């Protein structure tokens, strides 16, 4: 297994969403900074306030270009605080950035900003997407041309505040043998600015076809949804959050269900773990982050990339988070 490479040593970036546009790799990370807010389970210390875009044409040795700030909290009309993990999709000549942001009531919504170029800048819409909630949007273009958004995150991500896409009077986190909370998936409207339907659950099943339980913390979903396709199969990958793993499950269509397969990345230095997976020039790569350069400060994370390897049966070789 090759050693991972740090990509932006001069700044703290995390939660990378990575895509190939116009033959070049573009990285859309969140931007950590020293906010001075005490660390807590709701993630208030992750008070990110802008996005940069980075690009490169050689993963293993090439220079990383910083295209600068492309969207800031103060640019967004409905903004409260906390620009967390974003993603970008391309359709009909436009690039769409999807971002979670707390509104002025401190509720996470998902917004969208538009650009003519993959490196931005991105111009935000006046309002968040109708019916959106929680965090970590990931966009997937399927083979039929439809676009889907996967999203959701527990604890600070507020997913436990919702059932059937409706806000609960009191948040509820399942425990023990209760079914785990599911991430969400929703088809996007043709203009990419709104949902085309109601979000639905993404079912992750165990080897016996049963939904993963809330008490199965080493396998159940917590946050950081990502989708990719390999040899005709859909790979839904995600973070287990408080047990610090990146895991994967495989299905036959983008809506699931997905059968749990194993661990892609073992725990890294730092509390959070968040990733994306992309193919570039015949190789597959795992982009992620850790807190080694900041000496373990969980709110100051650094981007990394390492080559991803598949076995002949389509399973993924586990990567040690300390590499």
Query: Which active-site residues does the annotation give?
Result: 15, 223
Residue 51, SS3 per DSSP: strand
Answer for the pair 275, 266: CB distance below 8 angstroms, yes or no: no
Helix/strand/coil percentages in the chain, nearest 5: 5, 40, 55
SS (H, E, C) 226-280: EEEEECCEEEEEEECHHHCCEEEEEECCCCCCEEEEEEEECCCCCCCCCCEEEEE
Angle subtended at Cα 25 by Cα 28 and Cα 91, rounded to the nearest 5 degrees: 75
Two tokens, residue 132: 């959106």
* 302 φ/ψ angles, rounded to the nearest 5 degrees: -125, 140
User: Within 13 A of 226's CA, how many CA atoms are on the CB side?
Assistant: 28
> Could you tell me where the beta strands, DSSP code E, fall in 10-107?
13-21, 24-31, 50-56, 65-72, 87-91, 94-102
Contact 86, 27 (CB under 8 A): no
Rounded to whole angstroms, how far apart are CA atoms 323 and 292?
Answer: 11
Within 10 angstroms of residue 147's Cβ, the number of other Cβ atoms is 20
């Amino acid at each position: 297994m090759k050693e991972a490479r740090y990509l932006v040593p001069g700044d703290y970036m995390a939660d990378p969403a990575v895509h190939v546009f116009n033959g070049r790799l573009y990285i859309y990370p969140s931007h950590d900074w020293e906010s001075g807010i005490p660390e807590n389970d709701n993630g208030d210390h992750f008070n990110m306030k802008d996005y940069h875009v980075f690009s490169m044409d050689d993963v293993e040795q090439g220079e990383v270009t910083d295209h600068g700030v492309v969207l800031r909290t103060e640019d967004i009309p409905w903004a409260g605080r906390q620009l967390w993990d974003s993603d970008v999709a391309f359709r009909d000549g436009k690039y769409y950035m999807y971002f979670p942001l707390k509104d002025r009531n401190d509720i996470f919504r998902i917004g969208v900003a538009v650009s003519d170029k993959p490196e931005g800048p991105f111009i935000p819409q006046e309002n968040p997407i109708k019916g959106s909630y929680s965090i970590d949007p990931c966009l997937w273009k399927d083979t039929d041309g439809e676009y889907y958004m996967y999203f959701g995150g527990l604890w600070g991500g507020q997913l436990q505040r919702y059932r059937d896409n409706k806000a609960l009077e009191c948040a509820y986190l399942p425990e023990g043998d209760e079914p785990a909370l599911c991430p969400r998936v929703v088809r996007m409207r043709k203009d990419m600015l709104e949902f085309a339907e109601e979000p639905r659950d993404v079912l992750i099943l165990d080897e016996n076809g049963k939904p993963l339980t809330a008490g199965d913390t080493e396998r159940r979903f917590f946050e950081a949804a990502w989708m990719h396709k390999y040899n005709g199969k859909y790979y839904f990958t995600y973070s287990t959050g408080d047990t610090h793993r990146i895991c994967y499950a495989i299905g036959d269509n983008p809506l699931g269900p997905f059968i749990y397969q194993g661990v892609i990345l073992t725990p890294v230095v730092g509390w959070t773990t968040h990733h994306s997976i992309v193919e570039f020039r015949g190789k597959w790569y795992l982009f992620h982050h850790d807190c080694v350069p900041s000496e373990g400060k969980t709110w100051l994370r650094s981007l990394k990339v390492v080559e991803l390897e598949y076995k002949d049966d389509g399973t993924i070789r586990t990567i040690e988070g300390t590499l």
